[in-house]
Structure 1
Amino acid sequence: MVRKISNAAVIGSGIMGGGIAALLAGAGVKVLLLDIVPFDLTDDEKNDPAARNRIVKAGMDGALMAQPPLFYNKKDAGLIDIGNLTDDFDKLADCDWICEVVVENLKIKQELFKRIEGIRKPTCIVSSNTSGIPLKAMSEGLSPEFKTHFLGTHFFNPVRWMHLLELIPGEETAPEVLRFIERFGEINLGKGIVWAKDTPNFIGNRIGIQGMGKIMQEVVKQGLTLAEVDALFGPAMGRPSSAIFGTADLVGLDTMAHVMENSYDLCPDDEERATHVLPDFVTKMVEKGWLGNKTKGGFFKKVKNADGKKVKMMLDPATCEYVEFVKADLPCITAAKAAATPAEKIKAIVYGDDKGARFAWDCSANGLIYAANRIPEIAASVVEIDNAMKWGYAVETGPFETWDLVGVKESVARMEADGLAVPEKVKAMLAAGNDSFYKVEGGRQYFYDFTTESYQPVKLSDTALSLATCKADGKVVKSCPSVSLVDIGDDIFCVEFTTKMNALNREIIEFMGDVKEFALENAAGIVIGNQAGGMPGAFSAGADLDYVLGLCKGKKYAEMDEFLSLAQNGIKDIRYANVPVVAAPYGMTLGGGCEVCLGAADKIVGAADLMMGLVEMGVGLLPAGGGCTNLWKKFVFSLPDPVQKDTDLSKLFVPVFMAIGMAKYSMSAKQSFSLGHMHPWADRIVMNRDLLIGEAKKEVLAMVDAGYAPPVKKPVPVMGEAGTGMIHAQIFNMLKGGFLSDHDALIATRIATVISGGSVKEGTAIDEDVMYKLEREAFIDFAKEEKTIARIEHMLKKGAPLRN
């Protein structure tokens, strides 16, 4: 039997259930979303289907309106049917997977599973998204056949955006079922799979909530401000900018308190049980309903001051009152910002000698020891714990990876000097001459296994490919501070951007020319991609605006034209070279990042969470790295030749103009298809970003096997003056209606001129270099405008576009 998930059911339509339903629909699965019939129906409402489905309808509406969006494309909602557990329960008989997401009440879950047992088909998999109730207790009294198909599938909120999926086998779950769900979760749903044991809060929340509890208790003892703590445990330590207290506000203090209470109640033998008790100031906040962002007030909030300006406030744990937010000023933070590598940054903090460093060391040392003590209680190895924390809490390195960065020998010596109880297994590892939890040998990554007391290979999917591992194994064939060329095997090489947000600078543009020459001599094909951490992350957030601003202010227009020509020609030369190229974008793929994909690649293999677009309008410019030209070409040349000749180009011209002129970008790869950045018959989506580089490599190899031939440069049919004239009327109306500023209108008019090919007749076919020249001329003209300079400065300072 070939097992498939064609129909699934999600029982429980809250934010978690709605998120799981949206994810399944995004994977092409038909979903039945069920919830209870409301208890408060009037007599008239009891026979009204809409009233009986009121709860599930509200849940579905919430999922559709959620921000950040839970759906890859709202059209996916068409795959979801809603119903209730009274009238529609029989429909569960058609399901291949039933996922329970109801209230955390053992009796309710037991009764529900008993009902499901009586209707499910024999092959149907049933799972619970519980985080605190043992699977054994939930399935008590059910048949052996049911238990072989029963397991835990613990998603994290928001479901679409959090990479982690913890899988928890039941005592009798069939191995075949576990293998299938693992593959389905990884490939079809795009999740990072971690195998957890059936213990309270599993892995991610067990480790994560203990760390938060310890920090909240220490902030009272050591007297740091919340701003100082979040500065310590933010990006400087490889954690998200929301850090500790910002994350708690995001999750909700009530949710945090529930998870913490779970650990305290259900883990009586935990040596750090005391850290699972909320300090008094947090308990008071929960009692007052200060629960975080959902109540517009938690550890932080924004209020209007006497001048009507919004100011950020933070809670003072000593008084449980709000005080004005004061940015942290700690020597160890300053040292970390000046450090070059992640290891140097973390060491600057934990080995500093100011109050912030002492706080960071106390909490970090406690967390590292706690994580080691949880093996084998909650997980089999360091890998499961590290992955759970990276994928569930968006940290760049898990506890044991962090321990390696800090230095295991050095840190253990300090822990013992402080009187901390270092786990015997860690001391034994060091005594045997093993001074790190991970190492790379022969192109493979290994982890130290406490059970065998030896290094074992880290398990990867067949198509998973780690650039970090390749680099650690000496596979970098060419590099500079901004970009590397990495050998990823089979004569395929990956161009990896390595700047902040992978912004494109002159060094990268010059490097691309060298890549072409190297590839023609040495490579079967090229992948353009990187694996920067975090969600959504950035394939490339665009051009280096600092560099562009310097050219603008210095009035270095000749240098600007030369730089733009270099970028256009570098991208174009790779595109027409006799070597297949696949771009592997994910997350923010904006401006210049989008231009690289459109111009240099034969194919795009995009991650599901792809934010792709030509957004230069927001900084007072237009795409001049070939973006205008290549988006137009992608629309026109996607049509078969006979259709091109008879197509009304105006039907293509308007969506291209709107995409560039309105700075449109996708919120998913599916939306990139809608905007025309990707095409379904040439490009493809990979749900799991971990597999992106490997899948892109497969596409390159397929093109090589098929006998790759480079595309032939050919004239581009354009709208000419007819296109510009058609857009002028729309721009005028939008300007008069207040939808555009004068500067917006100026830029939009030139965008129309560029994509129309300038002053030629409609239907004229021109050399693409003519369009490239129009791009450069317009870009330089805009660079002379004070309003453009103001927009660039505002974006650099505020991270948001200026409307002027």
Structure 2
Amino acid sequence: MHDYDALNERLVVIKVHISRAFYVRALRPVLIAKAMKRTIKKVAVLGSGVMGSRIACHFAGVGIPVLLLDMPAPLPPEGQSTSYDKNKLVNEALQAALKSNPSPVYTRDVVKKITTGNFDDNMKDIATCDWVIEVVVERLDVKRAIFDQVEQYRKPQTLITTNTSGIPIHLMAEGRSDDFRKHFCGTHFFNPPRYLRLLEIIPTADTDPEVVQFLMDFGDVILGKTTVLCKDTPAFIANRIGVFSIMSVFSLVDKLGLTIDEVELLTGPIIGRPKSATFRTADVVGIDTLVKVANGIYENCPSDEARELFKIPEWLHSIVANNWLGDKTGQGFFKKMPPTQEGEKQIYSLDLKTLEYKPRVKAKFASVDAAKPVEDLSVRLKMLFQSPDKAGEFYRHFHYGLFSYISHRIPEISEEFYRIDDALKAGFGWEIGAFETWDLLGPEKVVADMKDAGYAVAPWVEAMIAAGHKTFYKSEQGKTLFYDVATAKYIPISGKETLILLKNYADKLIWKNNSCKLYDIGDDVLALQWNTKMGTIGGDVLSGIQTAIDKAEKDYKGLVIANDGTNFSAGANVGMIFMLAVEQEFDELDFAIRSFQNTMMRVRYSSVPVVVAPHGLALGGGCELSMHADKVCAAAETYTGLVELGVGVIPGGGGTKEFVLRAADDVQPGVPENIPLQNRFITIATAKVATSAFEAYQLGIYRSGQDEVVINQDRRITEAKNRVISLYDAGYVQPVPRNDIKVLGRSALGALLAGIHAMQRGNYATEHDAKVARKLAYVMCGGDLSEPTLVSEQYLLDLEREAFLSLCGERKTLERLQSVIKTGKPIRN
């Protein structure tokens, strides 16, 4: 089961190419030291289907050469003169993966690291590989046949793993050599492997513990995964609990008389789950796949106390019989209908009582309406759980059943319960895990209520509470501890001792305001985070950054700016800008822009190092903040760019200035000096967004040789702290504001204006697009200067601010801002 419906909404597909020489060199020595001298220089992936091709892409994406093999293509009919390509199947599968959206690679050029071949001619080449990953069809006989060939050609000590979601791992190891069994286990990637961070590691009784630890470390540090150690039990961990959760919802649909549209509202982002919620997730994954997993658990888990819940309801049997399997067949729980006469898209949902498709009806619950404005998920969940309406009844029954089930799976599927939370968060996109949810609702009170409602909990939970241990997790000295059932004590989570999660530093809080919190994260380093909607930056956040730098300069080595949320920052507070502009409070707006610019310059010219660790969305002001830091330690999945042109303004927080400065510094001998400026102008004018941190180098947002990419986003704050310390200990010198920035004036302005005119004439830009672009061109050229001139940063900031203010007085800019506030998307006007 995999959930990736929301990915397309988060990404902008940009086809760019980039040199990858800077890959993971800094991290690899750490891994080698931990992995007992084992290294992975080349990987073989056997099977090029949807999973195999994308696993190959992900390995190539982190810099590891891949041999991708599949069946040879069928011979053409006798007498047919067409040329025969024996590798046609594997090549077409790889090309299909590269064309898919969202992209399986960080940048397109990584495909150069993938070599394709077929099982007949190239199986012998696995002798050059250090790890062989089997990803063929889910049939035991087929997998065993493949392993016969692997045994023939692999070199001793080569790792062999199988990517399966259901076949018992030990069955595939039967009859193999000692060396094979010692180096064999399951590695269950979730699809798509670039984006879904779960990697389940499933050893057999014969797997060498060193191999298991290596795979846990490699998956974490190099592949950027949340590696979860699993037992060889049906559906392992994530699918066992995730499918239970879905089947539990199906049961409550019948019990409480809920509609599909109501369930999607109740089980989506409102409780920290993906937008695909429940039924949409089933459509994306495939309803037949869901049924297969549920049947497998029912058949293979006879002692499961909730076994009857995995029985397929009659209405679901009918859906499968009708071949309504979801996206793969064009209809499932939802069906795309022809557009209306006005051209509007139509999606119908299935009435589970009549099995007829009907127009979607917007679900409404009083408790949900009351909870929606609450940003803090923990507060929101408590509100919903305690609400007296039908939604509250659903949430109580759902969570009681979930808590009962997960408590009884210890130690069946895992000795440690935190692995269940890790699997659900990384594999199904839950913001917080099941045991974490239980903690915030209060285990002692919830257990009492569960008993009253007829739900049983496992004896170890009652024993934990009776012994005075009131929570499953707790934090001490910046570390997460969990209640270990075997020892009845709190112990650190294995493998996460070095991770910095800011929520664990509540006792190290040294300052806060309404939006920000400033922590002492040890070793004389501070960390600032803020909790606003989408990480937007307003007055409180700017004040927080200034205060954090003040305190760091006085008593600390430096500052990290990061957060534990879903996104780093979607940019400036658009609502505030719109309100001031509509009310024509231009003095107030001017002050706000100056404050933003001054804060960015304070980040750049502080007397101690400031390192920013973005992840997720880092747009607009969030991008500008990164560009002014001494160093960026970005998660690989960082989507960053200066997107202000889309809402009818130019970057006003120093982003335009910074691009002009970098363009001037990038002029190379023999290259026209206007070329770097034109490239950066196009990047801003088209509101380009990097669809990975690696693409951000190509766009000029991150600096090659200075900024860094951290594949596993859980490690970015730790890396950022280390960089603060290294910069400070190397003798950090406060930078000096620049007064030597060469701007090109009229010599470049004319060419940019001509290009804008051509874009407008070709209907690639609206009249207002062109007006905003002309303002941008004026600023980036330093104004209408008669000749190239050296100017200061402040000169450019003043031009930038004046252009931003003038555009805020434009009606069409206000329309775009209003559209973003109402719908989250700008209009094209």
Of 210-219 and 306-315, the range deviating more from structure 2: 306-315
Of 589-598 and 483-492, the range deviating more from structure 2: 483-492
Structure 1: distance between partners of 2:599 and 2:817:
25
Report whether the alignment pairs 1:526 with 2:555. Answer: no
Distance 1:280 1:44, change over 3 A: farther
Pick the aligned partner of 2:733 from 702, 705, 709: 709
Pick the aligned partner of 2:783 from 750, 758, 781: 758
Aligned partner of 2:26 in structure 1 is none
Q: CA deviation at 1:762?
A: 4.4
Aligned length: 792
Contact 2:375 2:532 (8 Å CA) reproduced: no
Contact 1:584 1:696 (8 Å CA) reproduced: yes
Alignment of 1:128-167 (within 5 A): 128-167=162-201
Alignment of 1:618-637 (within 5 A): 618-637=646-665
Aligned partner of 1:195 in structure 2 is 229
Aligned partner of 2:160 in structure 1 is 126
Alignment of 1:534-683 (within 5 A): 538-599=567-628, 601-637=629-665, 648-683=672-707
Structure 2: distance between partners of 1:346 and 1:323:
31
**Secondary structure of the structure 2 residue equivalent to 1:540:** coil
Aligned partner of 1:785 in structure 2 is 810
What's the CA shift string for 1:643-674, capped at 9, x where partnerless? 58x76321211111011011011001111111
Aligned partner of 1:381 in structure 2 is 416
Q: CA deviation at 1:700?
A: 1.0
Contact 2:631 2:707 (8 Å CA) reproduced: yes
Q: Between the two proteins, what is the percent identity of the paired residues?
A: 39
**Counterpart residue identity of residue 777, structure 2:** A
What's the CA shift string for 1:622-658, capped at 9, x where partnerless? 100000011222343367xxx58x7632121111101
Aligned partner of 2:719 in structure 1 is 695
Alignment of 1:415-494 (within 5 A): 415-461=450-496, 463-471=498-506, 474-494=507-527
Contact 2:643 2:689 (8 Å CA) reproduced: yes
Structure 2: distance between partners of 1:753 and 1:28:
41
**Counterpart residue identity of residue 595, structure 2:** L
Greater relative CO (CA pairs within 8 A, separation 6+): 2
Structure 2: distance between partners of 1:528 and 1:422:
41
Q: TM-score, normalised by structure 1?
A: 0.96
Aligned partner of 1:216 in structure 2 is 250
Of 81-90 and 347-356, the range deviating more from structure 2: 347-356
**Secondary structure of the structure 1 residue equivalent to 2:568:** strand
What's the CA shift string for 1:12-62, capped at 9, x where partnerless? 111111111111001111111111124464246899552x22221221012
Contact 2:75 2:84 (8 Å CA) reproduced: no
Aligned partner of 1:510 in structure 2 is 543
Contact 1:220 1:317 (8 Å CA) reproduced: no
Contact 2:375 2:533 (8 Å CA) reproduced: no
**Counterpart residue identity of residue 526, structure 2:** F
Contact 1:545 1:792 (8 Å CA) reproduced: yes
Distance 1:660 1:142, change over 3 A: same
Q: CA deviation at 1:288?
A: 2.3
**Secondary structure of the structure 2 residue equivalent to 1:67:** coil
Aligned partner of 1:495 in structure 2 is 528
**Counterpart residue identity of residue 589, structure 2:** M
What's the CA shift string for 1:278-311, capped at 9, x where partnerless? 2222222222232223434222234234654323
Aligned partner of 1:174 in structure 2 is 208
Distance 1:386 1:708, change over 3 A: same
**Counterpart residue identity of residue 452, structure 1:** T
Aligned partner of 2:20 in structure 1 is none
Aligned partner of 2:444 in structure 1 is 409
Q: TM-score, normalised by structure 2?
A: 0.93
Q: CA deviation at 1:764?
A: 1.4
Distance 1:461 1:680, change over 3 A: farther
Alignment of 1:760-775 (within 5 A): 760-775=785-800
**Counterpart residue identity of residue 519, structure 1:** A
Q: CA deviation at 1:496?
A: 0.9
Q: CA deviation at 1:353?
A: 2.2
Of 708-717 and 555-564, the range deviating more from structure 2: 708-717
Aligned partner of 1:372 in structure 2 is 407
Contact 1:335 1:345 (8 Å CA) reproduced: no
Structure 2: distance between partners of 1:663 and 1:22:
27
Structure 1: distance between partners of 2:128 and 2:713:
31
**Counterpart residue identity of residue 201, structure 2:** L
What's the CA shift string for 1:767-786, capped at 9, x where partnerless? 11111011111111111111
**Counterpart residue identity of residue 221, structure 1:** K
Aligned partner of 1:23 in structure 2 is 58
Structure 1: distance between partners of 2:648 and 2:79:
59
Structure 1: distance between partners of 2:118 and 2:731:
55
**Secondary structure of the structure 2 residue equivalent to 1:677:** coil
Contact 2:283 2:327 (8 Å CA) reproduced: yes
Structure 2: distance between partners of 1:588 and 1:295:
33
Aligned partner of 2:379 in structure 1 is 344
Structure 1: distance between partners of 2:165 and 2:546:
52
What's the CA shift string for 1:240-286, capped at 9, x where partnerless? 22211122222221222222222122222222122222222222222
**Counterpart residue identity of residue 720, structure 1:** G
**Counterpart residue identity of residue 89, structure 1:** M
Report whether the alignment pairs 1:206 with 2:240. Answer: yes
Pick the aligned partner of 1:245 from 262, 279, 282: 279
What's the CA shift string for 1:710-767, capped at 9, x where partnerless? 2222221112121111111111111111111110111111111111111224431101
Aligned partner of 2:32 in structure 1 is none
**Secondary structure of the structure 1 residue equivalent to 2:372:** helix
**Secondary structure of the structure 1 residue equivalent to 2:121:** coil
Q: CA deviation at 1:174?
A: 1.3
**Secondary structure of the structure 1 residue equivalent to 2:646:** helix
Aligned partner of 1:355 in structure 2 is 390
Contact 1:598 1:631 (8 Å CA) reproduced: no
Aligned partner of 2:361 in structure 1 is 326
Report whether the alignment pairs 1:685 with 2:722. Answer: no
Structure 1: distance between partners of 2:760 and 2:232:
61
Aligned partner of 1:316 in structure 2 is 351
**Counterpart residue identity of residue 515, structure 1:** A
Structure 1 unaligned runs (5+)? none
Contact 1:622 1:747 (8 Å CA) reproduced: yes
Q: CA deviation at 1:219?
A: 0.5
Contact 1:475 1:488 (8 Å CA) reproduced: yes
Of 768-777 and 283-292, the range deviating more from structure 2: 283-292
Contact 1:649 1:718 (8 Å CA) reproduced: no
Pick the aligned partner of 2:823 from 798, 801, 804: 798
What's the CA shift string for 1:533-571, capped at 9, x where partnerless? 3xxxx2111111111110111111111111111111111
Report whether the alignment pairs 1:260 with 2:311. Answer: no
Structure 2: distance between partners of 1:91 and 1:340:
54
Report whether the alignment pairs 1:66 with 2:100. Answer: yes
Contact 2:76 2:84 (8 Å CA) reproduced: no
**Secondary structure of the structure 2 residue equivalent to 1:118:** helix
Aligned partner of 1:746 in structure 2 is 771
Structure 1: distance between partners of 2:264 and 2:430:
13
Alignment of 1:94-105 (within 5 A): 94-105=128-139
Structure 2: distance between partners of 1:772 and 1:356:
51
Distance 1:545 1:44, change over 3 A: farther
**Secondary structure of the structure 2 residue equivalent to 1:88:** helix
Distance 1:493 1:43, change over 3 A: farther
